[in-house]
Amino acid sequence: MTAIPTTAAPTTATATTTVVRYCGRDFTGDEMEVIRALTSALPLRAHIAKATCAQLGWYRHDGGLKEMSARVALNRMAADGLITLPPPSTTNRNGHLPSYRTEQGLLFEPEPINAPLATLGPLHPRQVTTRTQAATYRQLIATHHYLGYTPMPGAQLRYLIEAEHAGIVAAISFAASAWKCAGRDTHLGWDPATRQTNLHLIVGNARFLILPHIHVPHLASAILGRITRRLPTDWANTYQYKPVLVETFVETGRFTGTSYRAANWIHVGQTQGRGKLDRQHTNAVPVKDIYLYPLHRHYRTILNNPT
């Protein structure tokens, strides 16, 4: 976060003439001094966040303290070198917290969030369009997704999901669909020629990651709902045509697919446990459930149009 001078004046501005902005709130130089005093006096981050809200009058619309927003803001201030926080007092269920690198090269570790979905505030899918966003996406997927990060060829869209009171909570991407998929092709009634003609109208959900420090029920299905509503338009803006169906493959030994079912995706079968290029039936891979989500009410008719 870059400090924003309140006037265009001098580079020698004091703390009281400088304003910084985090989580939609401006913090004056005097308020930053209050926060620094609290970080020196209190031993726990949760106590610092609560005291910051109380002393600075930072309240929600319902009158409660905006503690979650304060935690995010404090973490970002620490990452930007403006304050020093005590070490996190808890870790996530995997025994470690993810680390994030800021543009200044500093690392910070967010605290676990265990809360109802509503407390996160509105979710904002941000399409990855800048180098900074791309670097953040790559780091998150490479570090925390079980499949890791690999570049996707061809048409693709990537998103970082931000929550108003929690910052980045997830990453998701879409790319080319599978060339062949028996369960999908049977569901659509495709023959090889029609599949070859219309395959571009299906996109694949290549990666979906909820960050490991986020433990929020129903978050995944909420994200899927928001993303699928905007995906056709975003794809058309980028590639000049609208897809009509999304597919994904859920590894049965790792996941149950609950979030996809809750978001009204259709289960159409399972893969055969073969890799894409396994023509000799020798390369066994984990069996995956196949889920589809219509982006157009007449997707079957469109996908079976031979022209």
Q: What is the mean pLDDT of residues 44-65?
A: 85
Alpha carbon distance 270, 300 (integer Å)? 20
N-term to C-term CA, the chain: 52
Query: What is the residue extent of each domain of the chain?
Result: 4-89, 117-303
Q: What is the mean pLDDT of residues 18-44?
A: 90
Among 139, 15, 3, 163, smallest CA distance to 80 is for 3
Q: Tell me which of 39-43, 66-70, 205-209 is least confident.
A: 66-70
Counting other chains too, the contacts that 255-261 makes at CB distance below 8 Å and 24 or more residues apart are 257/289, 257/291, 259/220, 259/221, 259/224, 260/221, 260/224, 260/291, 260/293, 261/291
Among 201, 130, 121, smallest CA distance to 166 is for 121
- Does 57 have pLDDT greater than 60? yes
Q: Strand 100-101 and strand 266-270: pairing?
A: unpaired
Take residue 305 and report the two structure tokens written for it: 């149009």
Q: What is the pTM of this model?
A: 0.69
Distances (CA, A) of 251 to 41, 133, 240, 262: 48, 28, 32, 17
pLDDT for 61 equals 59
Phi-psi region of 128 (alpha: psi -120 to 50; beta: other; left: phi over 0): beta
Q: What is the mean pLDDT of residues 168-197?
A: 94
Alpha carbon distance 253, 83 (integer Å)? 44
- Fold for 117-303, please state it: Aminopeptidase (3.40.630)
**Of how many residues is the chain composed?**
307
Alpha carbon distance 112, 214 (integer Å)? 6
pLDDT for 12 equals 34
Distances (CA, A) of 253 to 94, 141, 146, 250, 291: 18, 20, 13, 9, 16
| Residues in CB range of 256: below 8 A, 6 or more apart | 250
With tokens 């978001």, the residue in question is 263
Among 136, 142, 143, smallest CA distance to 161 is for 136
pLDDT for 120 equals 92
Alpha carbon distance 117, 147 (integer Å)? 26
Q: Of the segments 51-65, 100-114, 290-304, which one has the largest average pLDDT value?
A: 290-304
Q: What is the pLDDT of residues 231-255, one digit of tens each?
A: 999 999 999 999 999 999 999 989 9
Alpha carbon distance 271, 202 (integer Å)? 17
- Does 9 have pLDDT greater than 80? no
- Does 186 have pLDDT greater than 80? yes
Residue type, 269: G
Alpha carbon distance 74, 52 (integer Å)? 9
Contact present, 61 and 69 (Cβ < 8 Å): no
Q: What is the mean pLDDT of residues 183-189?
A: 96
Q: What is the pLDDT of residues 190-227, one digit of tens each?
A: 999 999 999 999 999 999 999 999 999 999 999 999 99
Q: What is the DSSP string of 231-254?
A: HHHHHHHHHSS---EEEEEEETTT
* Residue 69 CB burial class (10 angstroms; 0-12, 13-18, ≥19): buried
| Residues in CB range of 307: below 8 A, 6 or more apart | 197
